[in-house]
Amino acid sequence: MANALQHNEWSGKTDGQPWMQRSLIVMFRVLPLWLPYGVMALVVPFYMIFNRKGYKSMYQFFRKRFGYDPWKSFWKVYANHFRFGQVILDRFCVYAGKKYRFITEGQELMDELETHPEGFVNLSSHVGNYEIAGYSLKPKSKRFNALVYAGETATVMENRQRMLSQNNMSMIPVKEDMSHLFTLNTAIDNGEIVSMPADRIYGSQKAAECMFFGEKARFPLGAFALAAQKNVAMLAVFVMKESYKTYHAYVRVIQCDRDAKIREQMSQLAQNFASNLEEIVKRYPTQWFNYFDFWKQ
Amino acid sequence: MDELIYTLKQQIIEALNLEDMKPEDIDENASLFGEGLGLDSIDALELIVMMEKNYGIKLQDPAKGKEIFKSVAVMADFIAKNRTK
């Protein structure tokens, strides 16, 4: 029987043994960025061959959702795998102390919410490189709590904690005993920011059905339930790789009719998020990193 | 206590949108999660908020929370002892 905290189709865990990941961090202190990128360009075809499930789902994604022909879809899958490798390497580069340039669109929305005493919910998704923003775009006053998948490797978790604790941020691992719910609830009550993934269904199977790329897809209800129940604001942050050392962060307000019933508010928030996500994915098609049939999750 | 248990069942049905259930259908001693009522983590979140709104109880200790949500009867007992409204 699958672990209830795991996604049915995707482990969500960074590949590689802890010693390999530690070695990467040490190497990146001295290596220029172009070198691992270059090596990765050669490795990606092998990854595509051996990771058949990921290859197939991404190929279908480009064929069905973008209508690309087979040849173009194949090259887009290559570009997607290469981009995915880049964002993972960039994360390790940040652990090693390297800096990236950030262009932020909508920072004022977050700044404005930070002036209010209430907490708010920040949505993340598996596009671009959300995690890297946490190491560079710091909240000005409020504490930032990120709900994270508990099954990551020790190396990744240790480095995340080290980087985040410098920026008044902390992690809340998803746990079987549901203790993370109390921590999230308390954080909101204390006027803090809570960051939650909003595109993969872990744990609870409750989901909102939203129109996404012209077809219904299920989005996990957790974050939307929290914002609706606690009557707090919601933002979505998409951090997309723009070029070699530049990321473009988009901050969007996720809204609903606050006079509607709680269930209706949850659905509206989910649909609003799905629409924003679709717009971003259309702009950056190769930075969609859900390697499974998203419409069947 | 019986009245509180009945009210609590009504509030659970309303909060969790269990439209085809009546208070009589819920066994107050059955487990809320897993094999009993079959609730999950999102339902737990709604119960946490419901207890705050209706009874002024703020649940902060995760270990305690798991114990409180054992059954409707346990929840009612905890509410009776800790409610502020």
Query: In chain A, which residue's Cα lies nearest the Cα of B38?
Result: A204
| Average pLDDT of chain A, as a whole number | 87
Query: In chain B, which residue's Cα lies nearest the Cα of A203?
Result: B41
The A-side interface with B (CB below 8 A) comprises 177-186, 189, 203-206, 221-222, 225-226, 229-230, 263
Cβ pair B41:A185 closer than 8 A: no
Picking from A8, A36, A4, A2, the residue whose alpha carbon sits closest to that of residue A20 is A36
| Residue B6 reports pLDDT greater than 90 | yes
Contacts of B85 (CB under 8 A, 6+ apart): B54, B55, B56
If contacts are CB pairs under 8 Å, which of residues 26-45 in chain B contact chain A? Answer: 40-45
Give, as one character, the DSSP assignment of residue B65. H
Count CA within 13 A, CB hemisphere, residue B83: 14
Query: Average pLDDT, stretch A135-156?
Result: 75
- CATH for B57: 1.10.1200.10
| Residue A9 reports pLDDT greater than 80 | no
Higher pLDDT, A26 or B31: B31
Instruction: Give A21→chain B minimum CA distance, Å.
Output: 33
Q: Taking the alpha carbons of A15, A16, A19, A21 in that order, is the dihedral positive or negative?
A: negative
pLDDT of residue A150: 65
0.90 surpassed by complex ipTM: no
Chain A touched by B74 (CB under 8 Å): no
pLDDT of residue A135: 65
Expressed as residue numbers, the domain containing B12 is 2-82
Query: Average pLDDT, stretch A263-284?
Result: 97
pLDDT of residue A2: 37
Tens of pLDDT along B13-30?
988 888 788 999 999 998
Cβ pair B65:A182 closer than 8 A: yes
Q: Taking the alpha carbons of A218, A220, A223, A226 in that order, is the dihedral positive or negative?
A: positive
Tens of pLDDT along A49-88?
888 888 999 999 999 999 999 999 999 999 999 999 999 9
Instruction: Give B4→chain A minimum CA distance, Å.
Output: 23
Distance CA B31, CA B35 (A): 7
pLDDT of residue B60: 72
Q: Where are the domains of chain A?
A: 18-95, 101-287
Instruction: Give A128→chain B minimum CA distance, Å.
Output: 27
Tens of pLDDT along A247-257?
999 999 999 99
Q: How many structural domains is chain B composed of?
A: 1
Cβ pair B44:A178 closer than 8 A: yes
